[in-house]
Each structure stands twice: as C-alpha cells, then as structure tokens.
Homo-oligomer: A and B are copies of this chain.
C-alpha cells in the first residue's frame, strides 16, 4: 500500500505533536515541513533528514496528499486555500467558535470543490473530538443542558493574549474549572522592567479574553518553570431521552495538549482521503474513516 504523503505546515508545539503521530502511523509518510527560514534553521537538528521548505517552495517536496496546518487559527483562512488550490487536502485545528467557523467552512468548501480537494476543519480535541462527544450526548438525550468544564490546564489562546499586553515580559494563563461550565483564570506574569503589577493586572482584567471570568494574577520571575502542556476537560449532560428525565452522561479527558491535538489532526488527515471534494467539520465525516485498519476488524473491535 502506498503511504499517504503528508506535510506539516508550522512547527510549534502542535507541529511536533503532528510529527510524532505521523511517525507512529503505519499508513502515513512525512514528506516535508513548511516553516519560515529563521525557525527552519533552529529546528534543523531536531527533525533529522526531513526537508524544510518555505510556503512558496513546496513544489520541491514532490507529490503531496495532505497538508496538516499546525498554525495559528487566525492564519487558517489565508493559508488553507494555498494548498487546496493545488489539489492538496488540508486539516486544521481552527478553534474560533461561532460565525467565523461557519464562514471558514463555506469559503473552503467552495475552493476545495473547485480544485478537487478536501478540507477538514477544527479537528483538534476542542473543537474536535469533544464536538463528537457533545453530539453523542444529544443523540442519547436531545433535551437537557451540557456543561463543558475546561482545565485544569494551560490555555494557549489566553496565554498569547496576556503576552501581548504592555509591560508583560512572559506569562502563562491557566484555566481552572469551577463547574457548570464556569471557569477561573490564573495568570502568572513576569513583568518588564519599570512596570507595576497593579497596572498590568488591570490591563489583563479589561482584555476581552478575560472580562467574562473570575481572574487572579500572580507575579512570577520564572514563568518557564510553570509550563506544563497538560490539559483537561469534563463534559457533562443531564437530559431527557424520549419522556424519561435524569439521563446522565459524563466525559473526561486529561492529556498532553499538543500530543492529543497532533494525533487527532493526523486521524483527520486519514479521513480526508475518504471524502468527496469539499470542506467538512468533524461531525460531517463517518467516525470509522478516522481510524487505521480494515473496516471489518474495526467493526469487530469497536461496535
């Protein structure tokens, strides 16, 4: 069997998770990594003999089936079309919920269909495999409330937001679940010289990322010593099946975040090859398509 030829676009934490997952997948082959020159130089030793190229130089890599976009979500609408227009499938972990996700799906659907390619969007753990769980809970009990409790763990999005605030030299933001879908944010900040905690704390409090939640800001001179890539989620639903109330379901996940994200993106890459041209969220693809192995064995083991 020919292995699927995959490239990794972006080589941060998630990109490394993708590489690990690809190297452990019997049906996949890494044919290249796309990174900007100054990062390419830095990672050369780490990645051994994998070719690194720039975004506009991917023809050097030969035939590519799938590009896994391990990049900032905000860049996905701009980067995914570059690959789809060349007939290369894309997978991303786009994590901005709401209307922008619907628009991304529509835009990429059009481009993918025009060029005979497949795009799978929002294929991380949340959105991603958690989305499947939320849907399953509603299949079981259509009426009721689902609470999604994130953490304890480090939030990438909030960490980036804090780091962008004036006076912050380094920072991390932890998400702590308070239950029933509410969260507490713990932010650890290393100040730049000449700044005061009170001033920086107020700026964090007024940042749109933080205005909705209880917030506690702490000073730390060694933020890097606090970094742990573990993250967790607890999804619970109490609902109604037919006319029967108090049907209870719960799902918990406690994982190394980039490793889980990378793995799920690789599973989605496999699924992309089995779909007709177009753009798909994870809910629009049969689950079995994500898994390695022949259908009969999978059904015998999983049904």
Contacts and interface: CB of A to CB of B under 8 A. Distances in A.
A302 B134 contact: yes
Copy count, this protein chain? 2
A209 interface: no
Interface residues of A, number: 71
A44 B285 CA distance: 42
Interface in A1-60: 17-21, 23-25
A87 B132 CA distance: 31
Nearest to A105: B299
A220 interface: no
A255 B248 contact: yes
B259 A131 contact: no
- Where chain A touches its partner, the secondary structure class is helix
A301 B244 CA distance: 23
B243 A249 contact: no
Nearest to A254: B248
A284 interface: yes
B263 A300 contact: no
Contact of A138 (B105, B131, B291, B303): B291
B263 A253 contact: no
A290 B139 contact: yes
A290 B135 contact: yes
A283 B299 contact: yes
A298 B300 CA distance: 30
Nearest to A94: B303
A303 B291 CA distance: 20
Contacts of A262: 241-242
A56 to B, nearest CB: 29
Interface string A55-95: 00000000000000000000000000000000000000000
Contacts of A211: none
Given A20-B242, A135-B287, A139-B129, A102 B299 contact: yes
Contacts of A105: 299
A149 interface: no
Given A241-B17, A286-B284, A291-B139, A247 B259 contact: yes
Nearest to A234: B250
Given A139-B291, A267-B139, A300 B259 contact: no
Residue from A97, A105, A135, A254 with most neighbouring chain B CB atoms (10 Å): A135
19 contacts: A17-B241, A24-B242, A25-B142, A97-B300, A99-B300, A102-B300, A132-B132, A133-B133, A135-B287, A135-B302, A136-B287, A138-B291, A140-B260, A140-B264, A242-B266, A244-B260, A247-B260, A249-B253, A281-B303
